Amino acid sequence: MSTGVIEAENERAAVARLRDMGYFPIRVEECVEKVSRDSLREALVRIRIKDRNVFLRQLANLSESGMMITRALRTLVEQTENPKMAKVVDQLREDVQKGSGLAEAMERHPKVFPAMYCSLVRAGETGGMLEEVLWRICAFGEQEEELRGKVVSAMVYPIFLMIIGSIAIFILISFVFPKFIGIFEDFNAQLPLPTLIVMALCDFMGRWWWAVILALVALVTMLVRYRRTEAGRMFFDQLFLRVPVVKVLIIKYEMAKFARTLGTLLDNGVPVLTSLKITAETMSNVLVCNSVAALHTGVTEGDSLSESMRDSELFPPMVVSMFAVGEESGRVGSVASRIADAYDLEVDRAVKALTALFEPLLIVIMGVIIGFLVIAMLLPMLSLSAGVSG
């Protein structure tokens, strides 16, 4: 005999779910405390790309071994460590057991499974090659995770350096330098302009440092909320594309994602128009998303894919030329995958170049600011020591 906890609307629903799982419950009791703990734990945990990739890889392994999809999902419910992901997998199992297809069940969780994944699974179910499609989705997801990881990891050190430098400047201005100001005021000496500027800044920060922190927190919160709106996303995406070095990185990153997504969809038998529509939804930058959506419009009106690309300024000439070659040879999907591989390397190089440029620039800026503050405090001390010596 075994015991456990299962989430359900009522006791009858709990009994039904247990019977579906192959158990014959003897007694079912409500456990409010346990459910509340699980709910709290789920609220603090989010489903990461890694969790989704692990689930898909395990599902592909179980499906390839010949296990029925419902049994595979039931097994994965017990093996999934993330409670939120386990709940999603359990809902997938329940929907499939009621007669839904796996793609249809996945579409009910758009935050976990993108439209691209659902379309690929539907194509695999229709063509009788679900296992092969699942492996391709795994490869795509892992490449996406690796590409994003390179960008994030490259920016960790500069951001850490900027935060530490800002904290050091804040501590100097708010708590260290004000102690020297009292010494200067006791001597009634003529102070140089840099020292007067730093004294005024220290006086302000000494009184209103808490207000400055609150203002910065409020400003960051407002910017984050504005970024999440449609107008804010458009503003920031346009702004980033106006910075030359950042623009190069964004375009290469988006081209890699565009080619990888489109190529994977086309290689798995998804129609071109559907593939373009799904690909547009996966783009991170609004302007690139609109350009891909324009490709869908152009192809709908009778233009070829490469001809529609030429009308956009965001698609590099190399991408346009290679897609034209792919259309002529009838191998657009494989050509798109080659483009994605090439741009993956380009993104890696662009990230390293941006980091190599940004890190010394940030160090110089922080050094100049801290150097100015230190010199402003040392100048009157040198004047005072010279006066005492004289």
Q: What is the pLDDT of residues 10-24, one digit of tens each?
A: 666 666 666 666 676
CA distances from 40 to 6, 52, 108 (A): 15, 21, 23
Pick left, alpha or beta for residue 311 (phi over 0 → left; psi -120 to 50 → alpha; otherwise beta): alpha
Q: What residues in the chain have per-residue pLDDT under 50? A: 33-36, 40, 44, 389-390
Rounded Cα distance between 321 and 50, Å, is 34
Rounded Cα distance between 53 and 49, Å, is 6
What residues have CB less than 8 Å from 37, skipping those under 6 apart? Answer: none
pLDDT of residue 310: 87
Pick left, alpha or beta for residue 128 (phi over 0 → left; psi -120 to 50 → alpha; otherwise beta): left
Among all chains, which residue has been given the structure tokens 């995406």?
Answer: 237
Rounded Cα distance between 106 and 113, Å, is 6
What residues have CB less than 8 Å from 283, skipping those under 6 apart? Answer: 254, 257, 258, 289, 292
Rounded Cα distance between 270 and 119, Å, is 7
- SS3 at position 13: helix
Joined tokens for residue 157: 């050190």
What residues have CB less than 8 Å from 294, skipping those under 6 apart? Answer: 308, 311, 312
Instruction: Name residue 251's amino acid.
Output: I
Topology annotation, domain 47-142? Receptor-associated Protein (1.20.81)
Q: Which of 267, 237, 242, 247 is nearest to 340 (CA)?
A: 267
Rounded Cα distance between 21 and 18, Å, is 5
Q: Which of 245, 333, 324, 241 is nearest to 289 (CA)?
A: 241
pLDDT of residue 188: 67
Instruction: Name residue 21's amino acid.
Output: M
Q: Which of 219, 183, 187, 212 is nearest to 199 (CA)?
A: 183
Global confidence as pTM: 0.68
pLDDT of residue 212: 85
**In this structure, are residues 355 and 155 in contact, taking their beta carbons and an 8 Å threshold?**
yes
DSSP per position, 80-97: --SHHHHHHHHHHHHHHH
pLDDT of residue 15: 67
Rounded Cα distance between 272 and 267, Å, is 10
pLDDT of residue 218: 94
Q: Does domain 144-390 have CATH number 3.30.910.20?
A: no
CATH 1.20.81.30 residue spans of the chain: 47-142, 144-390
Rounded Cα distance between 23 and 32, Å, is 22
Among all chains, which residue has been given the structure tokens 């490259």?
Answer: 154
Rounded Cα distance between 69 and 130, Å, is 10
pLDDT of residue 222: 94
pLDDT of residue 219: 94
DSSP-assigned letter for residue 314 = S
pLDDT of residue 279: 86
Q: Is 148 exposed, middle or buried (0-12, 13-18, 19+ CB in 10 A)?
A: middle
Helix axes 193-228, 332-389, angle to 10 degrees: 160
DSSP per position, 265-302: HHHTT--HHHHHHHHHHH-SSHHHHHHHHHHHHHHHTT
